[in-house]
């Protein structure tokens, strides 16, 4: 153990601080330390939470996938599981109350890693916010709670590209499991008069009415499903999947612990090296280490451990353990482009920023697959340069062809990596974004919304009409929709990082499970699919348990 100086309050200290400030209940405190209520007694608690033993499985990252993986393992395995999370408790009102979700990605939020991309050439050289949850539940604890599975064709496409077992039929049991846990509902979004007017107005424009875009058909217009209870409480991955396992002696949960690198003996993963409260420790896993650290940190952690493209590792003085050139490549994301009209009268609804209405339209790459998604919502509060008391429509080109990278900035685990999503990097992506953007401007002007919305468009504005002007508007009013995937993609070719069993190439005892392994981004928001990946990873591990 190496004691460092001036460490910020993380881990236990952070939890104690939260407990003392009343931000965390005593039960939440116990829960997050993985202890049973019978272990009450401050000293006991602290010594019990010391990670001194060896585990069978170590899971890095208690996010969407990590929680689903742990929950799946607990259904059938007697193995001792350690779940390690860099962030703290999710037992906080701003996480639980869905109307407060917009606060969670504010610049100073301690629940967000607060990443930024490098300046994006096609977006007026602006860096993009790259929010990512740093808290139990991961990004599912700070996200917009829109629940979309994606399209059967997405997963059939993965299987056709060599990811055997990941076809739609193969992933269905995992989707069913996570859906049962979060019980997505459109009860809240269908409640408002404005939502009802939008659904009707878009249906009148020719979009077929679709009560369940996660059902047999994805195309059409309907109320957005949210992973929120009917009284407005967030059901993130940690709360929905792991809360029932609190006190289970097979599961230990370590918060505030940042994994610095995988502990490797030759090409075999033996555990992890972590930093908690400025103390470095090595924890052993007798069976496997599974990295569930998300799209940005998974490749960073692999590279810091000597697994990656030698050309990326050498400049940072990192010895190459396994040459896996695909690590950090294939970053892609959904870009969302926004058009806004102000409301004539404020809407007296109780909700805030969560999407009310979803429209899937256009012809995607396979039959029945949409090309575009529209997220339509009432904005009570302004956001960036957009006004309050307005309706915003966000256009997503669901199948971008641009690909970017995650690279190391330095060999220091505390340094954020260099994130380059390369938005609008292909002319095809710009052409598609333009086509979809024209469509949402028409939707904003739908006759059925005239009583609700001002005649004059606020964003991009009535003076924007030519394709050239629209392209300029797109550069200005587009941003990441936080659906990044693919930086350690699954496959069988030379640039694949994991095989279809999620095993890292050329390394033993190491698997990955998060949005990072997705070969392509699904047709929609990515939380449900990330949880599906975690559950499926658990099933694959149980087959060899
Ligand atoms: C602001 C925002 C809004 C979004 N809105 C929606 C939405 O409305 N609907 C939707 O479906 N999707 C949405 N998404 C996307 C969705 O939430 C993510 O795709 C999904 O949660 C990713 O899951 P994951 O398991 O890959 O990663 P995460 O859930 O991010 O989990 C990774 C976890 O690993 C931890 N970690 C990382 N590195 C380390 C380390 N070295 N040591 C220890 N722990 C580590 C992180 O702290 C985190 O808890 C949104 C995302 C964001 C950020």
Confidence label for 43 from pLDDT (cuts 50, 70 and 90) = very low
So what's the pLDDT on residue 168?
98
Q: Structure tokens of 345? A: 């009268």
207, 351, 399, 483: which one is catalytic? 483
Distance 253 CA to ligand 1 centre (A): 18
Is a pLDDT exceeding 70 seen at residue 47?
no
Instruction: Give the pLDDT mean for 1-22.
Output: 45
Side-chain half-sphere CA neighbours of 97 within 13 A: 10
Q: Is the CB of 537 under 6 A from ligand 1?
A: no
Please report the sign of the dihedral spanned by the C-alpha atoms of residue 173, residue 177, residue 178, residue 182.
positive
So what's the pLDDT on residue 42?
25
Distance 274 CA to ligand 1 centre (A): 20
**Nearest C-alpha neighbor of 516 from the set 319, 317, 218, 303:** 303
Question: pLDDT digit string (tens) for 218-229?
Answer: 999 999 999 999
Q: Which of 178, 234, 293, 331 to mutate to test the pocket of ligand 1 (most atoms within 8 A of CB)?
A: 293
Q: Is the CB of 491 under 6 A from ligand 1?
A: no
Residue owning the nearest CA to atom 21 of ligand 1? 139
In angstroms, what is the C-alpha Rg of the chain?
Answer: 23
**What is the rounded average pLDDT for all residues in the chain?**
90
Confidence label for 243 from pLDDT (cuts 50, 70 and 90) = confident
DSSP characters for 344-380?
SS----S--SS--EEEEES--SSTT--SEEEEEEEES
Q: Which of 241, 276, 292, 294 to mutate to test the pocket of ligand 1 (most atoms within 8 A of CB)?
A: 294
What does the DSSP 8-state code read for residue 148?
Answer: -
CA distance 65 to 113: 17
How large is the angle between the packed helices 64-76 and 168-182, nearest 10 degrees?
Answer: 90
Q: Which atom of ligand 1 is nearest to the CA of 298?
A: 38
Is 207 in the active site?
no
* 277 burial via Cβ count (<10 Å: 0-12, 13-18, 19+): middle
Distance 395 CA to ligand 1 centre (A): 22
Confidence label for 18 from pLDDT (cuts 50, 70 and 90) = low
Other beta carbons within 10 angstroms of residue 183's beta carbon come to 14
The pair phi, psi for residue 518, each rounded to 5°, is -65, 125
So what's the pLDDT on residue 228?
94
3 state SS of 395? strand
Q: Which atom of ligand 1 is nearest to the CA of 530?
A: 23
**Nearest C-alpha neighbor of 174 from the set 185, 165, 163, 187:** 165
* 317 burial via Cβ count (<10 Å: 0-12, 13-18, 19+): exposed
Is a pLDDT exceeding 80 seen at residue 460?
yes
| Inter-CA distances, 174 with 149, 169, 170, 264, 537, Å | 11, 10, 8, 31, 10
DSSP characters for 308-345?
E-HHHHGGGTPPPSEE-TTTT--BB--EEEEEEEEBSS
Residue with tokens 């269908």: 190
Q: Which atom of ligand 1 is nearest to the CA of 485?
A: 19
Question: pLDDT digit string (tens) for 90-130?
Answer: 988 999 998 888 778 887 899 999 999 999 999 999 999 99
By the 8 A CB rule, do 263 and 270 touch?
A: yes
Residue owning the nearest CA to atom 35 of ligand 1? 61
Please report the sign of the dihedral spanned by the C-alpha atoms of residue 495, residue 483, residue 185, residue 198.
negative
Does residue 210 or residue 42 have the better pLDDT?
A: 210
Q: Which of 115, 133, 537 to mutate to test the pocket of ligand 1 (most atoms within 8 A of CB)?
A: 133
Lowest mean pLDDT among 14-18, 36-40, 401-405: 36-40
Predicted complex ipTM:
1.00
Instruction: Please give the angle made by the CA atoms of 491, 495 and 500, to the nearest 5 degrees.
Output: 15
Q: Is the CB of 18 under 6 A from ligand 1?
A: no
| Inter-CA distances, 172 with 157, 310, 531, Å | 15, 38, 12
Q: Is the CB of 89 under 6 A from ligand 1?
A: no
Torsion of CA 304, 140, 124, 458, to 10 degrees: -170
Distance 488 CA to ligand 1 centre (A): 15
Could you tell me where the DSSP H helices lie in 205-322?
A: 237, 294-304, 310-313
Question: pLDDT digit string (tens) for 186-241?
Answer: 999 998 889 999 999 999 999 999 999 999 999 999 999 999 998 889 999 999 99
Instruction: Give the pLDDT mean for 53-73.
Output: 95
Where does 413-516 show beta strands of DSSP type E?
Answer: 418-420, 478-480, 510-512
Percentage of the chain lying above the pLDDT 70 cut:
89
CA 297 to chain centre: 12
Distance 466 CA to ligand 1 centre (A): 38
Distance 99 CA to ligand 1 centre (A): 19
Distance 443 CA to ligand 1 centre (A): 31
Question: pLDDT digit string (tens) for 259-303?
Answer: 999 999 999 999 999 998 888 999 999 999 999 999 999 999 999
Does residue 354 or residue 358 have the better pLDDT?
A: 358
């Amino acid at each position: 153990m190496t004691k460092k100086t001036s460490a910020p309050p993380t881990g236990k200290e952070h939890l104690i601080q939260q407990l003392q400030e009343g931000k965390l209940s005593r039960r939440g405190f116990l829960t997050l330390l993985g202890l049973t209520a019978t272990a009450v007694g401050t000293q006991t608690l602290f010594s019990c939470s010391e990670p001194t033993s060896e585990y069978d499985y170590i899971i890095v990252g208690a996010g969407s996938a990590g929680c689903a993986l742990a929950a799946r393992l607990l259904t059938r395995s007697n193995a001792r599981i350690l779940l390690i999370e860099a962030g703290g408790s999710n037992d906080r009102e701003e996480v639980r109350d869905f109307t407060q979700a917009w606060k969670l990605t504010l610049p100073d939020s301690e629940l967000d890693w607060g990443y930024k991309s490098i300046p994006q050439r096609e977006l007026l050289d602006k860096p993009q916010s790259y929010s990512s949850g740093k808290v139990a539940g991961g990004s599912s604890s700070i996200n917009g709670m829109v629940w979309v599975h994606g399209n059967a064709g997405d997963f059939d496409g993965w299987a056709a590209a060599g990811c055997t077992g990941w076809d739609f039929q193969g992933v269905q049991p995992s989707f069913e499991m996570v859906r049962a846990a979060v019980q997505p509902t459109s009860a809240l979004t269908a409640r408002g008069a404005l939502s009802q007017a939008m659904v009707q107005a878009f249906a009148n424009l020719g979009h077929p009415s679709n009560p369940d875009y996660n059902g047999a058909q994805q195309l059409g217009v309907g109320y957005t499903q949210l992973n929120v209870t009917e009284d407005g409480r967030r059901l993130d991955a940690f709360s929905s999947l792991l809360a029932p396992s609190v006190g289970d002696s097979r599961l230990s949960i370590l918060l505030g612990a940042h994994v610095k690198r995988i502990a490797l003996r030759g090409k075999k993963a033996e555990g992890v090296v972590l930093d908690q409260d400025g103390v470095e420790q090595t924890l052993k896993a007798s069976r496997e280490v599974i990295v569930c650290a998300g799209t940005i940190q998974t490749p960073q952690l692999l590279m810091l451990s000597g697994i990656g493209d030698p050309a990326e590792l050498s400049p940072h003085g990192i010895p190459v353990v396994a040459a896996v050139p695909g690590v950090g490549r294939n970053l892609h994301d959904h870009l969302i482009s926004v058009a806004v009209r102000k409301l004539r009268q404020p809407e007296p609804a109780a909700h805030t920023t969560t999407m009310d209405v979803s429209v899937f339209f256009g012809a995607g790459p396979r039959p029945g697959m949409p090309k575009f998604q529209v997220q339509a919502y009432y904005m009570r509060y302004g956001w960036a340069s957009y006004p309050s008391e307005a309706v915003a429509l966000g256009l997503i080109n669901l199948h971008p062809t641009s690909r970017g990278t995650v690279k190391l900035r330095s060999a220091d685990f505390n340094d954020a990596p260099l994130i380059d999503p390369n938005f609008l990097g292909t002319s095809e992506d710009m052409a598609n974004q333009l086509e979809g953007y024209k469509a949402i401007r028409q939707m904003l002007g739908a006759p059925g919304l005239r009583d609700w919305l001002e005649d004059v468009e606020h964003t991009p504005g009535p003076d924007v009409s030519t394709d050239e002007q629209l392209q300029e508007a797109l550069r200005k009013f587009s941003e990441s929709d936080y659906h990044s995937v693919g930086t350690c993609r699954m496959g069988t070719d030379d640039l694949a990082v994991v095989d279809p069993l999620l095993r890292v190439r050329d390394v033993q005892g190491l698997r990955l499970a998060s949005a990072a392994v997705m070969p392509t981004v699904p047709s929609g928001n990515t939380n449900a699919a990330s949880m599906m990946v975690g559950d499926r990873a658990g099933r694959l591990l149980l087959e060899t348990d």
